[in-house]
Structure 1
Amino acid sequence: MKKHLLLFAFSALALTSCEDDDIQGYEMDMLKGEWKTVKTEVISGADNTTVLQTDTSTGCAAKNTTEFRTDYYASFTGYSGVGADCTPQKSEGTYTYDNETKELVTKYINDNDRKYKVVILSNTELKMMEMFDNIDTNGDMIIDFRYITYKR
């Protein structure tokens, strides 16, 4: 009986000691790949639910993509132009991700660090709140937040 109890205790310790690494790896695996920008919203900072402004990607901007790899490489390809005449511009860099705080920070070449809070992360949807350059959009003296939604 003591051997079984001891075996159980060591097994429980081994499983719990790897839990954070497993979650980080699982979320990194879901994050990897190419994401299309589908929508940008400005949400009221007063209640964090009221949508003040919504922009759905159309035209060339509907082709914008962000890529994350498990080796912490990140890239953003933005398209500009009119009609079918879309010109891509690619930015490359790195990112960090903390699965406990859900903070993702991108650092593209010749750009500042950009911090985001991951709100939704699934195999098909990624929604992040920008933690930089936010302003009071509706004049209530409370900073409002911009959310970006991506789909695969």
Structure 2
Amino acid sequence: MKKQLLLFAFSALALTSLSSCEDDDVQGYDLDTLKGEWKNVKTEIVSGKDNKTVLDLYTYSGCELKNTTLFRTDYSTTYTYYSGVGADCQISQNGQGKYTYDAETKDMVITYDDNVQLKFKVIVLSSSELKLMQVPSSGDFNGDTINDLTYTTFKR
């Protein structure tokens, strides 16, 4: 009986350690995928009713195509936004801050140095695409009394 109890206790400990390592592996993998520079591609407002109908689409163009967000594995982030006409692109905004990310829930919170805090749900994270949904939603854009969803897509 003691041997069975000892075996059970050891098995439970081993499974707990294994799942903890797997969680760490997922977090590490996601952070490794997230790190680096991302360029803004588009922002979509999607119906909160069906999460499919695109109510508004903004595709970045001109100098805005230079807009970048950089994520590092030490949980720091910076952004640089550009404006201008033609080839005359100038930095219009930049900032830095820290972020948190939970690989299990896909929740991300960015807090910039000016204390602006933005909350997101990571919808897509691959080596070439990052898609974030703003949380909470931005409001009701189509007047159906259901808050609509804002998605921002980045590419490498």
TM-score, normalised to structure 2, is: 0.87
Work out whether residues 114 and 132 of structure 1, in 8 Å CA contact, stay in contact via their aligned partners in 2: no
Work out whether residues 30 and 121 of structure 1, in 8 Å CA contact, stay in contact via their aligned partners in 2: yes
Mapped to 2, the partners of 1:61 and 1:132 lie a distance apart of 25
1:131 Cα deviation from its structure 2 partner: 1.1
Work out whether residues 137 and 149 of structure 2, in 8 Å CA contact, stay in contact via their aligned partners in 1: no
Partner of 1:3 in structure 2?
Answer: none
Q: How does 1:21-60 map to 2 (within 5 A)?
A: 21-60=24-63
Paired AA for residue 99 in structure 1: A
Q: How does 1:135-146 map to 2 (within 5 A)?
A: 135-146=139-150
Q: Which runs of 5+ in 1 are unaligned?
A: 1-5
Q: 1:115 to 1:13 in 2, by over 3 A?
A: closer
Partner of 1:104 in structure 2?
Answer: 108
Mapped to 2, the partners of 1:81 and 1:91 lie a distance apart of 19
Partner of 2:77 in structure 1?
Answer: 74
Mapped to 2, the partners of 1:81 and 1:120 lie a distance apart of 30
Mapped to 2, the partners of 1:52 and 1:131 lie a distance apart of 18
One of 122, 129, 139 as aligned partner of 1:125: 129
Q: 1:91 to 1:132 in 2, by over 3 A?
A: farther
Percent identity reads 55
Which stretch of structure 1 is more off in the superposition, 47-56 or 9-18?
A: 9-18
- Per-residue Cα deviation, 1:19-51 (whole angstroms, up to 9, x for no partner): 111100000000000000001100000111111
Q: What's the C-alpha RMSD, in Å, of the aligned pairs?
A: 1.8
Q: How many residues align?
A: 147
One of 61, 66, 70 as aligned partner of 2:64: 61
1:147 aligns with 2:151: yes
Work out whether residues 43 and 153 of structure 2, in 8 Å CA contact, stay in contact via their aligned partners in 1: yes
One of 112, 119, 133 as aligned partner of 1:115: 119
1:90 Cα deviation from its structure 2 partner: 1.5
Residue 110 of structure 2 aligns to a residue in which SS? strand
1:90 aligns with 2:59: no
Q: Which runs of 5+ in 2 are unaligned?
A: 1-6
